[in-house]
Structure 1
């Protein structure tokens, strides 16, 4: 954990005041993990029938709000438990460096969940009320990620939980509300996306490994160690890209989905960025590259489905 003074830390992280304080609270680099699954699920539906734009927009906004609320709960509960201080890297820093009241942060989180719930009512009324149950479970896990007596983020299951709920579940719901049905194809296609989303959490935990261990966490990064975690990150990246090739060969994904491999450079940068680094600040570029890998891969995957809609191409 860095020991830079508060003002030097803000300067090192290039943190600005004003609106930027609230923007950092949202942790915008993580919000693509909410956009990507909705886009992909909706494009999978578009291959079969015209999509309902209102449902697409509601699902997208609700997913982003839930992700932002999860980030705020993370900020709040880590502060309450004494895990974050003014020298912590990788957090919004609105409480420990900018002096925003923890109560305000928690209230905003609940407010975002409230708005997402209202959007969920519209989605359910336009599709199926079974979505309400799944939505409630998803929001509950978003809260329990860092809240509750046994936070998921402190265990080895944080990555897989994030991947399932922010990847597979959101893709499936985004498809279902358009088609009122689900298929194994949708679930299968969601697997690489879930892996990349889980990788964002893994990258975060690699960066914070030492500090997390000191505070009693048992993340995968802590269990595997620094070098082992980098190897694991490399393996899951390789699995995600290998599955993409397999799905294209099997006709599950269109040939256009080969464009997703344009994201592999960012994945390589992420692995190289962690290699040989020990300080959290040194690993920030690798963390950013991991998030960008998910963003670029997911956007290009959704785009490939959109292209397939207008220019069908098969092996």
Structure 2
């Protein structure tokens, strides 16, 4: 019985290392980009490419999380008392080298999947994919980590939000449309919101660790206001596209995710301690998940109905 419990804990630790609840930031953009492509007339979806893109994106996201774990430990930002979704090194004793090797292995598998995707679509995507993988590493690695600067939200949003949506769209159609770009904007904003919520929670520890995140530069209260603006702009963006650009009104299903966004802001306003605001991060991530999923579903309903 003891060995079974220890095995379960081991599996839990390795699963925890991938930070599974963050993987929606890679899954949802792939689904959304494919749904945008599907909503076009005469588009045939290649499901093999879809699943390859989906798995590759999730592997890169998981690897990026591991790079973050590794470098936060190396730079002394993670301790046993740290609050957050990391901690497999400081709390569970996983060797830093092991984490780095797993992350690089994930990158290797994603690279093989990328070769298949390029073969089925365009080899120009090889350069785009390598840039995305490089940014994933440099987000917390290298001499000037992006995550420690004011540009973390912008870069993560552009790559994980808009970038993945447009790649997922392109591999199904062979081109990019203005509508695809416009529909990817809320995804970009909400992925950035996930990063901002993380930085709001960690504002004290990050300040002590020498980071210069957006939340630190503008201050906690203003950072919460910026997060609110991210949510507001995302919803207004879709309403405007329905009113002005004529996209299907079914996309207004995204409004069903509003309670998650409101709850995130409410917690950030009422609480300050890192442990107390952890639910706000969860609600922010859920806003991104539900918003992107409902937007994709709305586009599909508009196509079929």
The TM-score range, normalised by the shorter chain, is: over 0.9
Pick from 21, 26, 36 the counterpart of residue 34 of structure 1. 26
CA distance in structure 1 between the partners assigned to 2:253 and 2:13 by the alignment: 36
CA distance in structure 1 between the partners assigned to 2:246 and 2:106 by the alignment: 36
Residue 269 (structure 2) pairs with residue 258 (structure 1): no
Deviations 1:251-294 (A, max 9, x none): 35311011110000000000001113221100101010000000
CA distance in structure 2 between the partners assigned to 1:115 and 1:140 by the alignment: 15
CA distance in structure 1 between the partners assigned to 2:202 and 2:62 by the alignment: 20
Partner of 1:305: 299
Partner of 1:281: 275
Deviations 1:144-185 (A, max 9, x none): 000000000000000010000001111111011111111111
Deviations 1:174-202 (A, max 9, x none): 01111111111111111111101100000
Pick from 106, 111, 118 the counterpart of residue 117 of structure 1. 111
Structure 2: tracts of 5 or more residues without a match: 1-7
CA distance in structure 1 between the partners assigned to 2:36 and 2:234 by the alignment: 18
Partner of 1:3: none
Structure 1: tracts of 5 or more residues without a match: 1-15
CA distance in structure 2 between the partners assigned to 1:136 and 1:35 by the alignment: 19
Secondary structure of 1:234's counterpart equals helix
Pick from 180, 190, 196 the counterpart of residue 196 of structure 1. 190
With 43-52 and 69-78 compared, the bigger mean Cα shift is at 43-52
Partner of 1:219: 213
Deviations 1:45-76 (A, max 9, x none): 11221200000000000000000000000000
TM-score under structure 2 normalisation?
Answer: 0.95
CA distance in structure 1 between the partners assigned to 2:16 and 2:82 by the alignment: 14
Contact 1:41/1:175 (8 A) holds in 2: yes
Partner of 2:10: 18
The count of aligned residue pairs is 296
Secondary structure of 1:96's counterpart equals coil
Partner of 2:84: 90
Partner of 2:201: 207
Secondary structure of 2:23's counterpart equals helix
TM-aligned CA deviation for residue 80 of structure 1: 0.6
Contact 1:24/1:93 (8 A) holds in 2: no
CA distance in structure 2 between the partners assigned to 1:132 and 1:253 by the alignment: 32
TM-aligned CA deviation for residue 18 of structure 1: 2.4
Pick from 226, 229, 239 the counterpart of residue 223 of structure 2. 229
TM-aligned CA deviation for residue 37 of structure 1: 0.6
CA distance in structure 1 between the partners assigned to 2:294 and 2:233 by the alignment: 18
Residue 176 (structure 2) pairs with residue 182 (structure 1): yes
Deviations 1:17-58 (A, max 9, x none): 221111111111110000111001101111221200000000
1:252–1:96 CA distance, 2 compared to 1 (3 A): farther
Aligned-residue Cα RMSD (Å) equals: 1.0
CA distance in structure 1 between the partners assigned to 2:247 and 2:214 by the alignment: 31
